Amino acid sequence: MAVPDETKLWMYKTMFLSRRFEETIEKIYLEGKTPAFNMANGPIPGEMHLSNGQEPVAVGVCAHLNAEDVVTATHRPHHQAIAKGVDLKRMTAEIFGKATGLSGGRGGHMHLFDPAVNFACSGIIAQGMGPACGAALSRKMQNKPGVAVSFIGEGAVNQGAFHESLNLAAVWNLPVIFVVEDNAWGISVSKKDSTAVARNDVRAAAYDMPGYYIENNDPIAIYDIAGEAIARARAGGGPSLIEIETFRLAGHFMGDAEAYRPAGEKESLGSRDPIPAFRALLQSEGVTSTQLDELEASAESEVAEAISFAQDSDYAPVEDALTHVFA
Amino acid sequence: MNDTNPRRLTIARAMAEAVQQEMQQDPKVFVMGEDIGALGGVFGNTRGLLEEFGGERIRDTPISETAFIGAGVGAAQDGMRPIVELMFVDFFGVCFDAIYNNMAKNNYFSGGNVKVPMVIMTSTGGGYSDGGQHSQCLYGIFAHLPGMKVVAPSNAYDAKGLMTAAIRDDSPVIFMYHKGLQGMGWLGTEAGATVDTPKASYEIEIGKAKVVREGTDVTIVGLAMGVHNGLRAADQLAARGISAEVIDLRSLVPLDRDTVINSVRKTGRLIVVDEDYQSYGVSGEIITSVVEHDYSILRAAPKRVAYPDVPIPFARPMEQFCLPNAEKIVAAYDAM
C-alpha cells in the first residue's frame, strides 16, 4: 500500500526524535560514570537499553495504531513508546526516577506505563505476550475496537511464553500482532547460535497464522506488512507473526563492550543507519531539505523540553516507595 | 429456597455461587482455566456456570498457564475482571513470572495508574496420597511476595464471602481453596467445612481473621484445614479442662495481626498450625508478629505444628506422619 505523505513525514520525525532522545539520554547517562563505570552512579542509574537503529520497526508498526490500541514492549522500549505516543515529558521523568514520571519513579526505563495510550513495557523476555493476548481478548469480549501489538526481540522466540501465546492467540482468534525485532543478538549470543530456524516467520505455520519476514530494516516495507496484519486483526481475521530484520547500533546495554561482535560489524552499521537513508528517500520523492530540517528542529525542541522537565523535577519523598502496592 | 432458611453448602458450591452472582451483575467478570467449562472445574468450583453463561465467559483454556495467566493480567488491565483457575497450586512453577512479576507488580510499577483486578483461584493441600506435585499448600510463597492479597477459607460461608470480596477487589487476589475441604466426595471431605451459607450475596472483608472458638488458656492459630485440626485439638483439650481459643486467619495478606495478638494477650500461649512447609513461612510470621509486638505477653515459648521441610511423600503412612493433626497440636500444648 502507498504510504500517505503525511505519514511518511510523521515516520521520519518520530525516528529522528527517538534517535535524538536516546543520544541525549546516552550523554546524561554517562554523567558520573567516568572514569570508572558504575551503573549506580549519575542522574540516570541502572541498566540502559538503547533502541537506536531499530526505529523503523516502531514507526512502521505504530503508524497504524491509535491511542486505544494496546502495545506491550520490552526492556528496550523507547522507540516504541515514542511512536505509540507516550507522554514524552513524563516518560523522561520516569527514566530519571522523578516524582513527575509516569509512575512517580517506581518503574524506571524498563517499566513504562501510560494508560492514556495503552502502552506498557516490562523487563523479562517474552513477558508481554500473554498480557497482549489478554488485552486482545478483552476487546473481543467487550466488542470494543482495538488490537494488541506485542513487540519482542528475536531472543524471545525460544521462551515458552512465545509459543504458548501464539497458540492461545490462534485458538481464540484474537486481534493481536506479534512483532519480532530481529537485531541478531540476544545480549551476546547470536541468533544462529540460539535458534533452530534462520527466520521465525516459519514458526507461524505451527500456529496456523500468517507469518512474515521483512528484510533490511525498511520502514516502508514494515509499514506495508504491519498495515496488512493490523487490518486483518481489526477485521476479525486473527493474529499474525512478523519478524523484522533490524539492528542495534549500540550494545545490549550501555557499558556493553560488544566484544562478541565479529570484526567490522559495528563499523559497518553506520552506513546502514535507517534515518539518513529515509531522509534521502523522502528528498528523492520531493520533500525539501527545509521541510525536513523543520521537522528535525521540532523534534529537537520536544526532546530538549522533555529533558528539562525531567531534570527540573524533584524526586518523590522516599516514603512514597511504600505506596501503591495495592490498588 | 428463601434467604432465611439454612442452606448447607460445600465450599465448591459456595465458590460457584459467588462467581455466578458476580457474573450476573457485572458483565466484566469471566472465568478461564483448565477444565472449568463442561467439567465444572476438577474441584467443582465452576459447576453449572457454563450452562448459564456460555463458553465465552466460562472459558476453557489450553494447558498453557503462562499464556492464560498472562492473558488474565492483560484483560484485567484492560478493564475486565477475570477469575483465572490454576488447577493445582503446585503448577505455579510453570507460570510464576506472569503471577508475581506481572500481576503482582504492575499496580506498583505504574504508580497506581494501571489496576489488575484479577482473582487466581487455586487448590491446595494433601492428605489423599496425590504425591508431591499435587499436594502442597505453598501459602508462604504467595504471601511473601508483595502485591497480591491472599485468602484461604476454612468453610463455605467464608469461601462465598471472600470470593465475592475478591472479585470486587481492584487488587489481584489469590484465592487458595483446600482440596480436603472442598466437599468433593472422592477427595474425602472435612465435614466442618460444609456450613450454612446464605443465598443472598455478601462480602467478607479480606484481611480479617475470626475467633472461631473462644478460650482462655492457649491460642491455636490456623487457616483452611488447620482450623479444623485446631478445633478438634480444642475439643480434646477441653476434655482435660483446658480452654483453647481457635483463630481462623482466613486471609494471609493483609494479615490480621491484631486479632492474634489480642488473643495471646489473654491466653499467654500460642500454637500455630500450618500445612505449608515449616521454615520461612506462615508459622514463623505469626510468631514473629506476636513477639516483636510484645514478647512479655507470652508465658511459654510458642510452638508450631507445620509440615516438615521435606517434599510431600506418596505413601499414605508417610504422608499422614508428616501432616499436622489434632494430636500433634495437643502434644505441642503439653510440651509448653
B63 at the A interface (CB within 8 A)?
no
Domain ranges of chain B: 8-196, 210-334
Angle value at C-alpha A122, between A120 and A126, nearest 5 degrees: 110
Contact call for residues A20 and A79 (beta carbons, < 8 A): no
Interatomic CA distance for residues B272 and B282, integer angstroms: 8
Percentage of chain A lying above the pLDDT 90 cut:
96
Contact call for residues B29 and B169 (beta carbons, < 8 A): no
Angle value at C-alpha B80, between A121 and B60, nearest 5 degrees: 100
Task: Write the single-letter amino acid at B233.
Answer: A
Interatomic CA distance for residues A194 and A229, integer angstroms: 27
Domain ranges of chain A: 5-311
The Cα of A188 is separated from the nearest Cα of chain B by a number of Å equal to 23
Predicted confidence at residue B252, as pLDDT, reads 98
Angle value at C-alpha A122, between A246 and B150, nearest 5 degrees: 155
Residue pLDDT tens, chain B, 336 long: 445 567 999 999 999 999 999 999 999 999 999 999 999 999 999 999 999 999 999 999 999 999 999 999 999 999 999 999 999 999 999 999 999 999 999 999 999 999 999 999 999 999 999 999 999 999 999 999 999 999 999 999 999 999 999 999 999 999 999 999 998 887 778 999 999 999 999 999 999 999 999 999 999 999 999 999 999 999 999 999 999 999 999 999 999 999 999 999 999 999 999 999 999 999 999 999 999 999 999 999 999 999 999 999 999 999 999 999 999 999 999 999
Interatomic CA distance for residues A135 and A176, integer angstroms: 9
Angle value at C-alpha B232, between B151 and B259, nearest 5 degrees: 45
- Class at the top of the CATH hierarchy for domain A5-311: alpha beta
A-chain CB neighbours of B70 within 8 Å are 127, 129-131, 133-134, 161, 165
Q: How many CB atoms lie within 10 A of CB A316?
A: 18
pLDDT in tens, A8-66: 999 999 999 999 999 999 999 999 998 889 999 999 999 999 999 999 999 999 999 99
Contact call for residues A151 and A179 (beta carbons, < 8 A): yes
Catalytic residue at B144? Answer: no
Q: With respect to CATH, is domain B210-334 assigned 3.40.50.920?
A: yes
Same fold, B8-196 and B210-334: yes
B78 at the A interface (CB within 8 A)?
yes
Q: Give the total residue count for chain A.
A: 327
Catalytic residue at B319? Answer: no
Interatomic CA distance for residues B157 and B202, integer angstroms: 10
| Cα nearest neighbour of B111 on chain A | A103
Q: Which of A176, A207, A326 to mutate to test the interface with B (most CBs of B within 10 A)?
A: A326
Q: Which residues contact A295 (CB under 8 A, 6 or more apart)?
A: A9, A12, A13, A16
Fold annotation for B8-196: Rossmann fold (3.40.50)
| Cα nearest neighbour of B78 on chain A | A135
Q: How many CB atoms lie within 10 A of CB B331?
A: 13
The Cα of B76 is separated from the nearest Cα of chain A by a number of Å equal to 8
pTM, full prediction: 0.96
Q: Which residues contact B318 (CB under 8 A, 6 or more apart)?
A: none
pLDDT in tens, A123-153: 999 999 999 999 999 999 999 999 999 999 9
Interatomic CA distance for residues B226 and B281, integer angstroms: 14
